[in-house]
Homo-oligomer: A and B are copies of this chain.
Amino acid sequence: MEPIKIGLLGLGTVGGGTVSVLTRNAQEISRRAGRDIVISHAAAKFYDPNKINGLNQINRISDDAWAVVNDPEVEIVIELIGGYSPARELVLKAIENGKQIVTANKALIARHGDEIFAAAQTRGVTVAFEAAVAGGIPIIKALREGLTANRIQWIAGIINGTANFILTEMRSKGRAFKDALADAQKLGYAEADPTFDIEGIDAAHKLTILASIAFGIPLQFSRAYVEGISNIDSIDVAYADKLGYRIKLLGITRRVSAGIELRVHPTLISKRRLIAHVDGVMNAVLVHGDAVGATLYYGAGAGSEPTASAVVADVVDIVRALTTDPENRVPHLAFQPNELSNVPILPITQVETAYYLRLSVEDKVGVMAQIAGILAEEGISIEAIQQKEADNAKTVPLIMLIHEVVEEKINRAIQRIENLENVTGSVVRIRVEQLDG
């Protein structure tokens, strides 16, 4: 059989890794796929030829991405440019030209996925995006195919390696947030502008995709609640540790009777949960289905070859499915396009979670009673209270664990507590998840 011909957009970290993996493992891959895979045409604005093994196997390299998507020889276009534009226009043009698409672009899929999948559906081609979520971990495949028997109940994922690295450094070395971030930047784990990673936006892109696939709903990035880790104080990481918890930046999506929760925020998780032990830049996604129970998928969520691993797996999947009727292929969002449902995404104020609270109080008789009184009036029940060593002459830190309560109630209670005369500064609050079923 003729080799399958790839057009590659982008020769950066992931593009270079894709060339290297396809070259080094050509034989292994072809023994599995039953067909050789060659990159016949690549385009990149800048790249470092010394960093990529196998560039000499590519027939044509230029800086013209449009030439690749319009090349009649190219059967599969791999988009590894990133960002919204011109990635969107290039992908739509490639679809129009009847190319199959593989992309690692989570932002593109989270924001423009519905448009792109509709175009692909009309043209009878596939858009594969395993590499867009959690790098080398085959989590899209697990959700779309491995767990098809299940009604998915919830997903909780550590899906940003930069944030997980920073939180791990804060816990294991007692580093402050800004020092841990500087370390991450020095090691190449964080970008010069780290906003997308530390403020949870990257995680929200990925979570949006996971939620859509899990529940059969349209992609709704704009409705996600997003809170990053830049306000996490290392003292809370240490207090959480003593209480038996780790703090992780989690992407959580859950089906409840009123709708779907879609939220990214720092979260306390009991050390008894396996996912609490996922450290450094590693990612993990915990999925709860009604038949299978809890399953967890762990691995490298970023990096050159781990991401390339997912890109190439998508290519092989497409090669295998080329002779299939398009309507029998795995649907882009797991459910048949006419079977998506419009369950609403809940606003964060309607979400129920447990809480960790830290207050600075003046060490006077009656303060605790006032706080407990407010919580009781709001119908909020306390799981534990600990008074810590005084942090200065005047105030002592008070740590509270609060049972599950709807967010608008705790918001009201916190506001009232902050107004108390003997409470100084703001109340620190971090959500707590059980993740036990």
Contact = CB atoms under 8 A, between A and B. Distances in A.
Nearest to A149: B312
A156 interface: no
B322 A293 contact: no
A32 B138 contact: no
Contact of A295 (B28, B137, B146, B147): B137
Interface stretch (A106-114, A333-341, A401-409, A426-434): A333-341
Contacts of A308: 149, 291
B142 A290 contact: no
Interface in A280-325: 284, 289-300, 305-306, 308-313, 316-317, 319-325
Contacts of A339: 31-32
A15 interface: no
A146 B141 contact: yes
Interface string A1-22: 0000000000000000100011
A228 interface: no
Contact of A325 (B28, B146, B323, B329): B323
Interface centre among A278, A297, A327 (most CB of B within 10 A): A297
A293 B300 contact: yes
Interface string A127-157: 0001000001110011011111111000000
B25 A291 contact: yes
Interface in A95-120: none
Contact of A306 (B274, B277, B291, B313): B291
Nearest to A335: B31
Interface string A69-97: 00000000000000000000000000000
A266 interface: no
A351 to B, nearest CB: 24
Interface in A208-228: 216
B292 A299 contact: yes
B29 A328 contact: no
Nearest to A340: B31
A146 B313 contact: yes
B298 A296 contact: yes
Given A25-B291, A323-B325, A317 B145 contact: yes
B305 A291 contact: yes
Contact of A25 (B144, B151, B294, B312): B151
Contact of A336 (B31, B148, B298, B330): B31
A357 interface: no
Contacts of A149: 21-22, 25, 29, 308-313, 316
A30 to B, nearest CB: 8
Contacts of A322: 328
A124 interface: no
A400 interface: no
Contacts of A17: 291
Interface of A: 17, 21-22, 24-25, 28-29, 31-34, 130, 136-138, 141-142, 144-151, 216, 274, 277-278, 284, 289-300, 305-306, 308-313, 316-317, 319-325, 327-331, 334-336, 339
12 contacts: A21-B150, A28-B151, A34-B327, A34-B331, A136-B295, A292-B310, A293-B300, A294-B300, A295-B299, A319-B328, A320-B330, A324-B324
Given A32-B144, A292-B305, A292-B309, 13 more contacts: A24-B151, A25-B291, A31-B339, A138-B145, A138-B146, A141-B142, A145-B317, A146-B313, A274-B278, A291-B305, A291-B312, A295-B300, A297-B298
Sort A-B residue pairs by CB-CB distance and give the 8 closest, nearest first. A138-B146, A149-B312, A295-B299, A136-B292, A292-B309, A296-B298, A31-B339, A291-B309
